Amino acid sequence: MSDGRALAREFLEQQRMLGGEPVILSDTASTPGSRPGSARPSATPTPLTPGVSPGKVSALPPAGLSYDPPGGDLFSNDPVPQAASLEVIARLVTSCTKCRLCDGRRHAVPGEGPGDARLVVVGEGPGRVEDDTGRPFVGPAGELLTKILAAIELPRERVFICNVVKCRPPENRLPQYDEIAACLPYLHRQVELLKPKVILAMGGTAAQTLLDTKQSLGSLRNRVHRFRGIPVIVTYHPAALLRNPNWKRPTWDDVRIARRLLD
């Protein structure tokens, strides 16, 4: 049997890490014999989370879309679908000029993480700090991603983190359709080599690209989709969470689903 209070503590700690609202427990929640006057007198009882018990997740969400992109042509001499390792992909990305995004980049950002990662996180494209450093998710959104991963007990060093497009779009605009199409073989080969247990698609671009759909992020959330048979969980992009903290709570629900699929 789990200790309810331990679960509640873990839940609150995770909420804190994700920047959730402070939860003030009323006096009525304290155990008999606790110090009188220790509760804040004016506090109104705040339900932890309506309808959800701490630390406990009900059944997995229903199945969603399933996408199986066609495999590479055995007889073509395109090096990308045949790249033997993640390092080879990274080298090909670094010298890639297949779309206009190569013009403005300082560094291409192939992605990083261990070859045996069980979780692959896919974002949209490099931002300014990523373009400066050549590393994915190291700016403000990356710091939030690191916290989100820590909250599900996954140090980011154990996760492979990459993006749909590997070069920064000017002024962080959305990547255009032809840019995504040009870059997609890299992502497909990365996933093929990594064979992760779960893919976490962060934001509409990642979700729609991986699942080959135009459906909105809102309608893609809370489903277990598949990419080449690998479960795909869709959630908000950390940069969107920085603008709209109300989405932290649903994001937390989503990453817990990913966590459960990993366990």
Residues that bind ligand SF4 (CB under 6 A): 93, 96-99, 101-102, 108, 165-167, 179, 182-183
Residue 188 φ/ψ, nearest 5 degrees: -60, -45
Q: 113 contacts which partner out of ligand SF4, ligand URA, none, CB within 5 to 8 A by kind? A: none
Closest distance between ligand SF4 and the C-beta of residue 203, in Å? 16
Q: Distance between CA atoms of 78 and 110, rounded to whole angstroms?
A: 18
Q: Is 64 helix (H, G, I), strand (E, B) or coil?
A: strand
Rank residues 130 and 179 by Cβ distance to ligand URA and give the closer one: 130
Contact 86, 190 (CB under 8 A): yes
Q: Distance between CA atoms of 9 and 234, rounded to whole angstroms?
A: 27
Closest distance between ligand SF4 and the C-beta of residue 202, in Å? 18
Rank residues 12 and 102 by Cβ distance to ligand SF4 and give the closer one: 102
Q: Pick out residues in 111-170 that bind ligand URA (CB under 6 A).
A: 123-127, 130, 136-137, 139, 141-142, 163
Site map 26..65 versus ligand URA, x via CB under 6 A:
----------------------------------------
Q: Distance between CA atoms of 205 and 227, rounded to whole angstroms?
A: 15
Q: Distance between CA atoms of 23 and 130, rounded to whole angstroms?
A: 35
Rank residues 207 and 258 by Cβ distance to ligand URA and give the closer one: 207
Strands 224-227 and 230-235: antiparallel
